[in-house]
Structure 1
Amino acid sequence: MSFNRSYGGGQTSRMTSVFGRTHVVRPKGTHQATIVWLHGLGDKGSSWSQLLETLPLPNIKWICPTAPTRPVSLFGGFPSTAWFDAVDVSEDAPDDLDGLDASAAHVANLLSTEPADIKLGIGGFSMGAAAALYSATCHILGQYSNRNPYTVNLSCVVGLSGWLPCSRTLRGRMAASNETVTRAASLPILLCHGSGDEVVPHKFGEKSADFLRSSGFGNLTFKSYDGLGHYTIPEEMDEVCSWLTDKLRLQGS
């Protein structure tokens, strides 16, 4: 199944985020985990909820929000659903910290009302994967870039065809606390990327994985798919299912 394109980078956004409709896939079995799944640029939550509902993961509740519709610099200011503003797909592109913080806070708010015994996770595709990885760094650091506390305890993070925002400042911020390093070492992360991706090049996903590992994220798996473009395939989703079942210790999947 193919999904809309998504890009990285972005300018600083000062807008108020108004998020779209949230779609929820209820667990068919015993509720053991809840995962917020974030779509790519120009897409909406319903696209992924339809796919996630077909996965053999009866113990997971999926929450699929829709990003705000905002002007996107990459499109010359044309409005599109986006988790943050995007100027270019480049390591040198500026990060839209306000947009990233707003999206991470929205995801944390969606997870904050889940039962205390439920394991929590975040996943996404392309720009959604970037937003998910940014949320992971907020969890590890215990705060957003604006210094507000991040209080949700994540058990897993999944990113398909994405990249890591704010990599230029992450390592220095993590080095300030031993507790941060300990949390990073134990957080399971799965990153998947196609070698034929012309929208978010494979090297971006590979560099993101290498950077996270070198920063202390020791429980990270990176999977490459030969010839895969900027979309997902059943083999990739099978890997996601197996990985989640193992890392979250799901029963009955």
Structure 2
Amino acid sequence: MCGNNMSAPLPAIVPAARKATAAVIFLHGLGDTGHGWAEAFAGIRTPHVKYICPHAPLMPVTLNMKMTMPSWFDIIGLSPDAEEDESGIKQAAENIKSLIDQEVKNGIPAHRIIVGGFSQGGALSLYTALTSQQKLAGVVALSCWLPLRGSFPQGATGSANKDTQILQCHGEADMLVPLVFGCLTVEKLKSFLNPANVHFKTYPGMQHGSCPQEMMDIKQFIEKQLPPIS
């Protein structure tokens, strides 16, 4: 999928309880798989929505002493001015756009698809949506940042998602991706998107993970952006 690594296994999927008329494509964080998030979505599922949680391919990660692990792209450092894996990020975004295209071919229009992710996956979901020519229903960006932020707003010129709803969530006690990253990301997004469409929620005491209140906020956002088709 990305670069010269083995291709990743098939995504973890929570099928719709009835005919799927909408989909959520959700990307896990560094070193993880899609299974945990598939379980989390099974707990807040909406009957007409299909949840697709792909697994990142295995690759050596510079940040973790070149250890091989599931990763959407290489992470070189975590400081705001760290060098970024530009070609890896762009290639990963193309792979996610192919997943979106596949769902469209399966009969779910792009405007009935939400992309989202946690941490590195959240970063990739933001970058993918902001550079996509498919008009999406929304983005759920958890505990993350905007990759290649210096390339925006120019990078979003051809994007169909200038008016797409974005739910960004962050734990106030996150030590790994500090809250300030989330705040800077929201400011950046509001500088070139419709500020009214960028929703930022923070959770006291939440570290680099999730919590029940966040999951309920995600559920409400999904139900609002992907209502049943009567």
TM-score, length of structure 2 as denominator length:
0.89
**Displacement of 1:155:** 1.5
Q: 1:104 to 1:229 in 2, by over 3 A?
A: same
Q: 1:228 to 1:217 in 2, by over 3 A?
A: same
Q: CA deviation digits over 1:88-131, x for unaligned, max 9?
A: 11221122122212222222222212215461121111111011
Q: How do 1:106-185 and structure 2 match up within 5 A?
A: 106-114=95-103, 115-117=107-109, 119-139=112-132, 142=133, 152-174=134-156, 177=157, 180=159, 183-185=160-162
- The number of residues matched between the two structures is 224
- Assess if the C-alpha contact under 8 Å between 2:163 and 2:193 holds in 1: no
Equivalent AA in structure 1 for residue 137 of structure 2: S
- Candidates 202, 205, 212, aligned match of 2:189: 212
- Assess if the C-alpha contact under 8 Å between 2:75 and 2:85 holds in 1: yes
Runs of at least 5 residues in structure 1 that lack an aligned partner in the other structure: 1-12, 143-151
d(CA) in 1 for partners of 2:46, 2:152: 33
Aligned to 2:222: 244
Identical-pair percentage:
31
**Displacement of 1:251:** 6.2
C-alpha root-mean-square deviation of aligned residues, in Å?
Answer: 2.0
Q: How do 1:67-78 and structure 2 match up within 5 A?
A: 67-78=56-67
Partner SS for 2:141: strand
- Assess if the C-alpha contact under 8 Å between 2:24 and 2:51 holds in 1: yes
Q: 1:173 to 1:69 in 2, by over 3 A?
A: closer
Partner SS for 1:186: coil
- Assess if the C-alpha contact under 8 Å between 1:39 and 1:126 holds in 2: yes
Partner SS for 2:153: helix
Q: 1:198 to 1:168 in 2, by over 3 A?
A: same
d(CA) in 1 for partners of 2:115, 2:20: 16
**Displacement of 1:22:** 1.2
Aligned to 1:48: 37
- Assess if the C-alpha contact under 8 Å between 1:129 and 1:162 holds in 2: yes
d(CA) in 2 for partners of 1:84, 1:17: 13
Partner SS for 1:113: helix
Partner SS for 2:39: helix
